[in-house]
C-alpha cells in the first residue's frame, strides 16, 4: 500500500501506542503452549444434537457471556427498537451461528485466545475455519496489525469547461482545514483526515477520507461530506453547474483498485509461521505443497483479473459480518485481500493475509441488534475502543480459513469434507 509521508507518520504513531518500537516485536511474537496453556476447545464439535448446542451455550455463559437471544430464551425485540436498522419490519431471518476456537492472536489491538462466532448456511465452513484456528493456535498464534483507518465519500462536481474544473480543484485543496472544521460540526467521534482530488475533463471528484472512531462510519461520512459540500457551494469562487454527494469513486460496497491500494475502512494484516511437523501431523501436507499451490493459485487469480488473490476470504468475512451486525453489502470490498504462503529457510510455512478494506465497527448500525451484541461480547469487542481489535480478529480468522482450504486442496480432503459436512443427512425413507 503506497502511502504519503503524513499517513506514514500517523501509522507510526498508531503502531507505537505509547510504547517503544522494540516492544512491538514482543507483542506480536508467537505464544507457545508452554508459556500460556491452551484454553479448552469448543465442546462436542460435530454433534448436532440439542444437548450439544446447550452445552456449547453453557460453555460460553460460564465465561461471563450471557446469550439469551442466541439461545432463544429472550423474546423477539420490540419493533420500535429497530428504527434505524430496518423499515417495514416483518420479522427476523434466522441463519445458523457456529463457534470456532480457541484462536490465539498476538496483535497490536487484540491479544489472547478467542472463540469466534460465524454465521452461515454453508456446511463445512465452520469446521474448516475451526481446523485452521486450531493449527494457528498450536503454532503459537497469528500475529496481527491494524494500521490505516479511513472511510471515504467522493462527491462529484460538474463544470462547463476543464479550465473551471481545474481552478475549482486548486481552490478546494487549499480549503482542507476549513473542511475539517465543518466536518467536526456533524460528528463527535470522527474527523476528516485526508483529501484527494481527481480531474476528468470538466468533472472534479473530491475524495474525502475520514477517521470514524469505533463505528464503521458510512452514515457518519455521508453526513459530514454533505455539510462540507454545502459549505463549498456557498463559498467556492467557481460554482459547479451541478453536483452529486457520491460520484462512485469512494469504493463504497464494491471492489476497487483504489481502495485496494489506499484502504477503505481498516487495513489489517495477519501472519504466522507453521512448523513443518505441525502441517504433517494436522493437515497431512507439507510447506512445499502449500507454497506450490499458492503459486499456481496466484497465477490463476492474476490471469482472471482478480483484485487481490485469495482462496475464500469472503467465506470467513461474510460469516463474521453476519454474526456481529456489520454491513453485509460491504463484504464485496472487505473480502478483497492478498494471501501469501512461502517456505521459510528452516522448512516451515510462512503464511500471511492482508485485508485493506475492512469496513467494521463495534458501535452503531447493526451492532445494536440483540444477537450481534452477544456475538461481539463473545469476542470482547462490544462498545467503544474495540473496532481495531475486531479488524484484527477478522484478519486472523481469514488466515485460519486460508490455511485450512489450501491444506485440504493439497491433501485431497477438500471434496471429501464437503461430501461429509456440506450435505444434510438423508431422510429415513431415502
Is residue 143 within 8 Å of residue 152, measured between CB atoms?
A: no
The helix (H) or strand (E) run that includes residue 260 is helix 257-262
Task: Judge whether 418 counts as a catalytic residue.
Answer: yes
Q: Catalytic pick from 194, 231, 292, 327?
A: 327
Give the span between the Cα atoms of 329 and 327, in whole angstroms.
5
* List of E strands, 83-212: 97-107, 111-119, 142-153, 156-158, 191-200, 203-211
161-198 residues labelled b (16+ CB within 10 A) or e (exposed): eeebbbbbbeebeebeeebbebbeebbeebebbbbbee
SS percent in the chain: helix, strand, coil, step 5 = 45, 20, 35
Q: Are 17 and 107 in contact (CB under 8 A)?
A: no
E-strand stretches of 181-264: 191-200, 203-211, 242-244
CB-based burial of residue 425 (10 Å sphere; 0-12 exposed, 13-18 middle, 19+ buried)? Answer: exposed
Residue 50: Cβ within 10 Å count: 8
DSSP letter, residue 238 = S
- The DSSP code for 76 is P
Phi-psi region of 359 (alpha: psi -120 to 50; beta: other; left: phi over 0): beta
Here the cell at position 12 is: 507510526
Q: Is 122 a catalytic residue?
A: yes
Cα separation of 356 and 268, whole Å?
Answer: 6
State how far the Cα of 177 lies from the Cα of 425, in Å rounded to an integer.
63
Catalytic site residue from 122, 175, 191, 231: 122
153 - beta bridge partners?
Answer: 208
Among the options 189, 198, 380, 418, which is catalytic?
418
Characterize the bridge pairing of strands 142-153 and 97-107: parallel
Measured between its terminal Cα atoms, the distance across the chain in Å is 54
Catalytic annotation, residues: 122, 327, 418
Amino acid at each position: 500500500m503506497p502511502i504519503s509521508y503524513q499517513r506514514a507518520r500517523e501509522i507510526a504513531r498508531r503502531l507505537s501506542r505509547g510504547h517503544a518500537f522494540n516492544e512491538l516485536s514482543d507483542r506480536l511474537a508467537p505464544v507457545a503452549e508452554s508459556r500460556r496453556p491452551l484454553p479448552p476447545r469448543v465442546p462436542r464439535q460435530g454433534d448436532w444434537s440439542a444437548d450439544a448446542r446447550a452445552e456449547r451455550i453453557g460453555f460460553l455463559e460460564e465465561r461471563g457471556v450471557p446469550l439469551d437471544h442466541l439461545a432463544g430464551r429472550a423474546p423477539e425485540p420490540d419493533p420500535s427498537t429497530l428504527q434505524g436498522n430496518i423499515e417495514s419490519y416483518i420479522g427476523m431471518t434466522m441463519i445458523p451461528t457456529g463457534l470456532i476456537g480457541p484462536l490465539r492472536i498476538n496483535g497490536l489491538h487484540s491479544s489472547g485466545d478467542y472463540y469466534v462466532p460465524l454465521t452461515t448456511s454453508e456446511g463445512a465452513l465452520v469446521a474448516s475455519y475451526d481446523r485452521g484456528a486450531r493449527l494457528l493456535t498450536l503454532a503459537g498464534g497469528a500475529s496481527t496489525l491494524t494500521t490505516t483507518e479511513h472511510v471515504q465519500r467522493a462527491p462529484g462536481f460538474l463544470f462547463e469547461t476543464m479550465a473551471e474544473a481545474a481552478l475549482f480543484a486548486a481552490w478546494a485543496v487549499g480549503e482542507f482545514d476549513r473542511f475539517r472544521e465543518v466536518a467536526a460540526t456533524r460528528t463527535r467521534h470522527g474527523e476528516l483526515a485526508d483529501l484527494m482530488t481527481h480531474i476528468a475533463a470538466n468533472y472534479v471528484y473530491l475524495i474525502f477520507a475520514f477517521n470514524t472512531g469505533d463505528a464503521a462510519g458510512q452514515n457518519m461520512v455521508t453526513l459530514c461530506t454533505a455539510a462540507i459540500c454545502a459549505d463549498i457551494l456557498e463559498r467556492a469562487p467557481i460554482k459547479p453547474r451541478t453536483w452529486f454527494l457520491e460520484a462512485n469513486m469512494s469504493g463504497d460496497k464494491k471492489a476497487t483498485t483504489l481502495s485496494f491500494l489506499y484502504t477503505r475502512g481498516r487495513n489489517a494484516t495477519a501472519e504466522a509461521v507453521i512448523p513443518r511437523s505441525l502441517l504433517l501431523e494436522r493437515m497431512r501436507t507439507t510447506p512445499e505443497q502449500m507454497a506450490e499451490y499458492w503459486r499456481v493459485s496466484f497465477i490463476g487469480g492474476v490471469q482472471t483479473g482478480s483484485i487481490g488473490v485469495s482462496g475464500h476470504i469472503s467465506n470467513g468475512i461474510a460469516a463474521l459480518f453476519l454474526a456481529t451486525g456489520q454491513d453485509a453489502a460491504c463484504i464485496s470490498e472487505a473480502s478483497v485481500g492478498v494471501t501469501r504462503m512461502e517456505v521459510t529457510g528452516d522448512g516451515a510455512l510462512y503464511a500471511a493475509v492482508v485485508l485493506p478494506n475492512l469496513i467494521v465497527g463495534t458501535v452503531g448500525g447493526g451492532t445494536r441488534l440483540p444477537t450481534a451484541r452477544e456475538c461481539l461480547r463473545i469476542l470482547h469487542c462490544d462498545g467503544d475502543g474495540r473496532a481495531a481489535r475486531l479488524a484484527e480478529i477478522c484478519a486472523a480468522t481469514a488466515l485460519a480459513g486460508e490455511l485450512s482450504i489450501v491444506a485440504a486442496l493439497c491433501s485431497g480432503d477438500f471434496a471429501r469434507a464437503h461430501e461429509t459436512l456440506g450435505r444434510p443427512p438423508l431422510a429415513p425413507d431415502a
